[in-house]
Amino acid sequence: MAPSASAREELFITPRTVSHFTNQEVTDEMLREIYNLTKMGPTAFNSQPLRITWVRSAEARQRLAAHMVDSNQAKTIAAPVTAILGFDRSWFQRFGEFNPRSAPNMQPMFEGNPEAAEGAGALSAHLQAGYFITAVRALGLDAGPMTGGDLAAITTEFLADKNQQAFLIVNLGYGIEPSYPRNSRFEFEDVTETI
Ligand SMILES: Cc1cc2nc3c(=O)[nH]c(=O)nc-3n(C[C@H](O)[C@H](O)[C@H](O)COP(=O)(O)O)c2cc1C
Other Cβ atoms less than 10 A from the Cβ of 14: the count is: 11
The angle subtended at Cα 27 by Cα 25 and Cα 32, nearest 5°, is: 150
Nearest-atom number in ligand 1 for the CA of 168 is: 1
Per-residue pLDDT for the chain (195 aa), expressed as one digit of tens each?
Answer: 899 999 999 999 999 999 999 999 999 999 999 999 999 999 999 999 999 999 999 999 999 999 999 999 999 999 999 999 999 999 999 999 999 999 999 999 999 999 999 999 999 999 999 999 999 999 999 999 999 999 999 999 999 899 999 999 999 999 999 999 999 999 999 999 999
Expressed in angstroms and rounded, the spacing between residue 52 Cα and the centre of ligand 1 is 19
Residue 2 in any domain: the answer is: no
Q: Judging by DSSP bridges, how do beta strands 20-21 and 175-176 pair with one another?
A: antiparallel
- Which ranges in the chain belong to alpha helices (H)? 5-8, 28-38, 58-65, 70-78, 95-98, 103-111, 114-138, 151-154, 188-191
Which residues are bridge partners to 172 per DSSP? 81, 143
- 187 in any annotated domain: no
CATH number for the domain spanning 52: value is 3.40.109.10
Q: pLDDT digits over 127-143, tens only?
A: 999 999 999 999 999 99
Please count the structural domains in the chain.
1
Q: Which one-letter DSSP state was computed for residue 93?
A: G
Our mutation pick for probing the ligand 1 site, out of 134, 146, 171, counting the most ligand atoms within 8 A of Cβ, is 146
15 Cα nearest atom in ligand 1:
25
- Is the distance from CB of 154 to CB of 68 less than 8 angstroms? no
Inside any domain, residue 141? yes
Residue 121 domain flag:
yes
Range of the domain at 140: 14-177
Question: Does residue 51 lie in a domain region?
Answer: yes
What pLDDT score does 15 carry? 97
Kindly give the distance from the C-alpha atom of residue 99 to the centroid of ligand 1, in angstroms, as a whole number.
34
Give CA–CA dist 26/127, Å, rounded: 24
3-state DSSP assignment of residue 42 = coil
Maximum C-alpha span of the chain: 54
Q: Is the pTM value of this prediction over 0.75?
A: yes
Q: Is residue 3 part of a domain?
A: no
Which amino acid, residue 56? R
Question: Atom 13 of ligand 1 has which residue's CA nearest to it?
Answer: 146
